[in-house]
A = this chain, B = another copy of it.
């Protein structure tokens, strides 16, 4: 609805989506269960996806890697779809952004500590 929908868009089955995005079929079903993904159904009940489901799933993976939950992603999906947000969504966006930034800083600190140890043990003679 929110995206241009050409008349005869090519629809793909779940396996193709999964392979294309590099996830499991189970994962794609899970995303639907969590309200992240909608699919039409063939007369026999098989899920049919538009091709933009592939980059969408990749995007989910990226957000998962950033520590967002599927619930949070579902709450923020309208921001991507419609391009506008209410105050609550903007607050959530900023909160997630700050959380990720803090995580990056933490990881960088951990990285520095590891590098420190690596430098020490590398310049050290073997026991």
- Which residues of chain B are within 8 angstroms of A115 by Cβ–Cβ distance? 97
Residue of B nearest to A90 (CB): B121
Residue of B nearest to A124 (CB): B84
| Stretch touching chain B among A14-22, A36-44, A45-53, A59-67 | A59-67
| Cβ contacts A to B, 26 pairs, < 8 Å | A62-B110, A65-B103, A65-B110, A66-B107, A66-B111, A79-B117, A83-B120, A83-B121, A83-B124, A84-B121, A84-B126, A85-B121, A85-B124, A86-B127, A90-B118, A90-B121, A93-B117, A96-B114, A97-B111, A97-B114, A97-B118, A100-B110, A104-B104, A104-B107, A104-B108, A104-B111
